[in-house]
Structure 1
Amino acid sequence: MKKSRWPPTLLTDLTKIEFVKEQRRLLFFVNRAAVCLLLSFLIMVLSTFRLRLFSSLAFLCTFLSCQELIDAPVPSLHWDKFEAASATPLLPADCQKLEGIYRIEVADDDFGDSAVLKWSWDITGTDTTHYLSIFCQEAVRYFILQGKASGDSVLLNGYWRNVENTKTGKARFVIANRRTVFGPDSAAQGSVFLRGHYGMFDSDPEKEVNFRFKRPLKEDSSFLVIAHRGGGRNNDLLPASENSLEMIHLASRLGATGIEIDVQLTKDSVPVLYHDTRLNDRLTKDAGIRGELAEYTYDELTSEVTLKRGGRIPTLQDALHTAVYNTPIRFIWLDCKGESTLRRIRALQESFLQKAKAAGRNVEIVIGIPTEEQYGHFRRLAG
């Protein structure tokens, strides 16, 4: 069996993000504690046993039902110019000419001094859509945009997000002199200038932010940006559930070149994507069942369980199909959650490696094994 190398990965310091999130969680629980203390006081002053019993039940229901649910929804992206019949999608070759390191020249808020622009794509149904992701130096702010040509201009339309909180909004950019920028002269890339505006939530973009091309990205095929849990955790306030097909699509739009996904087996031995061993409020909402995931069949899970930010628990087969055929992702890490999953995962790994090769895709699929004992079991399977 070929020994897989560990690829270099993009490491990001998330200390500041986690600190802000912990502050938000602390504020939530302080508010809940205040409500509970008020109810406790009311219980103490009520005189009759019946009223005390009623108040105690109300107190318990209030405490148990106070669950944090913070969303940062994607704003409406309608823009008349962008939707006009005369605006046509950019060609993939033109998209790549916009990639690079950019200098941030004007910004009403602090985005930092530099930003990275990178194009990616994904396929939904029969439609292939290209996305430009912009990651800014400060405040963990990013943009996801689509591009169209309109006359001698390029229109970029999408939204921005601040990962530290729920701030988001519309974003629109215009690049003038399209025919010069995308012409045969490679030196013209240095003149790329994105003049843009962004807004808060669904308000019209009015705040100014501009990007000027500084230098191209370094070409290094061994460098990977790997998205954890398919692209992000539920508490990262992304518009998709962790370990879902929607999250894999989002990871691709954000420019990830690899994903890590968590795999375990259902009662009827179907490999599915799910991180925790139990069905819980952290990962699901309005679920009609609770307990160990392995106690339920896949049909029971799909009919009774909805993931926290929407969608159903996907099978590993569907996840691999999405990554291989619908995204440019080229590295997939399968985090195996138990020894019993190894045989099933191994079979799917081999199958999709062959499918990727047949499709002309250079995809590496690696199985993560947590213990020496399971590694020995895996070697016997591979042997």
Structure 2
Amino acid sequence: MTTERPLAGKRLHIAGSVGPRTPSALAVYAHELVRQVVHGVIEGGGGIVVGAGKEPTLEEGPAQVFDWSVLEVIAEAIRSGICPEAMGTRCPVVVVVSEKGETEIPASRRGLWTELLGTGKVEVKRIMAGARSATMIRELQMGYGDALFILGGGTGVEHLADGYKKSCKGVIPLDLPLGASREDGTGGAERLARESRVNPLNFIRLRGGELGTEGAKLAKIATDQGRAPISVVSAGIIEILAVLAPPTAFYVRLLNPKHEAYERVEKYFRNVVDPVIEERGLARVDLGKDQVESGFLNVEVFKRLHHSMVAVVDVTGERLNCFIELGYALARPLRVLCTAEQGTKLPFDQSAIPCHFWKDGEPEEDRKEGFRAFWSQYIDRSPLVP
């Protein structure tokens, strides 16, 4: 990430809908806002996650979904050359569809769809053949988005927000009263926007010097029932995305420097775990080395562990506090990777959980490759408690 491309490597997932009785003026406002946000993300070096399919419209008004407004801007960005290049196998734009949804793309959008498929910058992901489950589409989308922007909608956006928050990814809900295309849910993005003003840290966490300004930044994107200038709101959303804290990997490990295994564990985390964590776009939380936010270390441990996306739990030394933290991590819907020095005896309850045993003295590149392979094999295991 650079100051010129502050969103490089980040994908924003955009979702929502407009209710059938929503005034057309509000829907027009929402579509223009979405267009400006997408343009800002692409210009900032970021990518997009979205769906594609049919395009229901209000009576004599704009569409009730935002997918095609998003895809129009992406196509314009690709034509003009501002869309980021693919990063290896990681395309900047991911579109998730069902087999049936793809057949429902309207004739007026077929040309745009074909154009996008030929650009090399749009990756299409399909759920199981024959399935049309909206839930399956959303769950697949969540794996590709780094943050979520929602407006209007009902049950669908509520499901997405819950999933993103469980994965400790940022959720930016808009307060615009758009309703939901299916008139379902419990208030959709509008309700979630109200909640975000009360508990901002439940929705976004900002990095470094921006920490503590979450509430102010969310207040800046208030739409005032569609009266706030769209440029101001969209700029506020881009500003939030640019300073979102990266998801964290929490380290559970031996911290007593007097223990005979301490130096070996320290070397393993610094030379092996740290580089692999950084490769995956995560920020480490190692309370033996990093700044503590709370005045009480025991409170800090569980607070930071609770809000992490990944826990790397090393039980070398068989310390009781490590096993307590492992138990807490396993009870959370986060990803847990267990490691230990070769020769460590695992307790009965942990022995059924995959564990990567490392050996001191092996070449560091070999040890990193071993941890990478273990990560790839087990990082997507379902949590014990979903």
TM-score calculated relative to the size of structure 1: 0.28
Return the structure number with greater helix share.
2
Asked which structure has the greater CA Rg, the reply is 1
Return the structure number with greater strand share.
1
TM-score calculated relative to the size of structure 2: 0.28
